[in-house]
A and B are shown apart, each in its own frame.
Chain A
Amino acid sequence: GESVGLHLPTLSVQEGDNSIINCAYSNSASDYFIWYKQESGKGPQFIIDIRSNMDKRQGQRVTVLLNKTVKHLSLQIAATQPGDSAVYFCAENLTGNQFYFGTGTSLTVIP
């Protein structure tokens, strides 16, 4: 599969602060991206997605930014809460139906 990597394997933030999780992807042909949250012992949970014809998409407390020039994705979580503690993965859709996951970032929220 294609390489989708994350810059930071771990991230600790204070409760109430904003979090930014980054992801680099390698294939400029990828046209759809998803951010997932995975809690211990559970399957990945969809957070937000973005298509390549957009550079920003907002959800509830989350924003995804896509920079196709440098092949970079970020996930911004506003007012981070203890329940946000989890591993976050980005995944890219390269071709057809395949999705390839990045390395993952473990987010710890400090109360």
Chain B
Amino acid sequence: DAMVIQNPRYQVTQFGKPVTLSCSQTLNHNVMYWYQQKSSQAPKLLFHYYDKDFNNEADTPDNFQSRRPNTSFCFLDIRSPGLGDAAMYLCATSRQGPGINEQFFGPGTRLTVL
């Protein structure tokens, strides 16, 4: 089945130690998103790629970076994780063409910062 895959599902890192979260998709969608979701809160958009074009949200901290080496993969890099970065990180994809279409979400990676 076509899907959005996130690895790992659970990630533990230390304060200040760089960490990378991975997302892959088999949907061949041209847009990929990263959201941060803290407990009992709504997903918050960090940034997205439209093809190779990177679009950062204005309030996304510089500590968060992203890479999209090809259509299928997108990475979230947290350069120096702080305790406040502990959250669920959700990857999503959509196909943008004429009109706007739904997003498909992966299962998320839960990040713990020690």
Q: Does A98 contact B (CB under 8 A)?
A: yes
Spell out A's residues near B (CB within 8 Å): 1, 31-32, 34, 36, 41-46, 49, 51, 89, 91, 93, 96-104
Q: Which residues of B contact A89 (CB under 8 A)?
A: 42-43
Q: What is the interface of chain B, defined by CB distance below 8 A to chain A?
A: 4, 31, 33, 35, 40-45, 48, 50, 55, 57, 59, 90, 92, 94, 96, 99-100, 102-108, 110
Provide the residues of chain B in CB contact with A32, threshold 8 Å. 99-100
| A91–B42 CA distance with the chains assembled, in angstroms | 10
**Would you call A99 and B44 a contact (CB within 8 A)?**
no
**Cβ-closest 3 pairs across A and B:** A43-B105, A101-B42, A32-B100
What are the residues of chain B within 8 A of A103 when measuring CB–CB? Answer: 41-42
How many Å lie between the Cα of A1 and that of B42 in the bound state?
12
CA distance A36 to B35 in the complex (A): 14
Q: Could you say which residues of chain A place their CB within 8 Å of the CB of B105?
A: 36, 43-45
Option from B44, B48, B106 in Cβ contact (under 8 Å) with A43: B106
Bound complex: CA of A99 vs CA of B45, how far in Å?
Answer: 7
Question: Within 8 Å CB of A46, what residues of B?
Answer: 102-104
Closest to B48 in A: A97
- Enumerate chain B residues within 8 angstroms of A100, measured Cβ to Cβ: 45
* Nearest B residue (CB) for A87: B40
B42, B43, B94: the one within 8 Å of A97 (CB): B94
Known: A43-B107, A43-B108, A102-B42. A97 touches B102 (CB 8 A): no
Q: Are B107 and A97 in contact (CB under 8 A)?
A: no
Residue of A49, A51, A99 most packed against chain B (CB within 10 A): A99
- Assembled-state Cα–Cα distance A87/B102 (Å): 18
Q: Give A1 to B102 CA distance when docked, in angstroms.
A: 18
Q: A97-B50, A97-B94 are in contact. Are A42 and B108 (CB under 8 A)?
A: yes
Residues from chain B with a CB closer than 8 A to the CB of A1 are 44-45, 57, 59
A selection of 29 A-B contacts at a CB cut-off of 8 Å is A1-B45, A1-B57, A32-B100, A34-B103, A36-B105, A43-B4, A43-B106, A43-B107, A43-B108, A44-B105, A46-B102, A46-B103, A49-B102, A93-B100, A96-B50, A97-B31, A97-B33, A97-B55, A97-B96, A98-B45, A98-B48, A98-B57, A101-B35, A101-B42, A101-B43, A101-B44, A101-B45, A104-B41, A104-B42
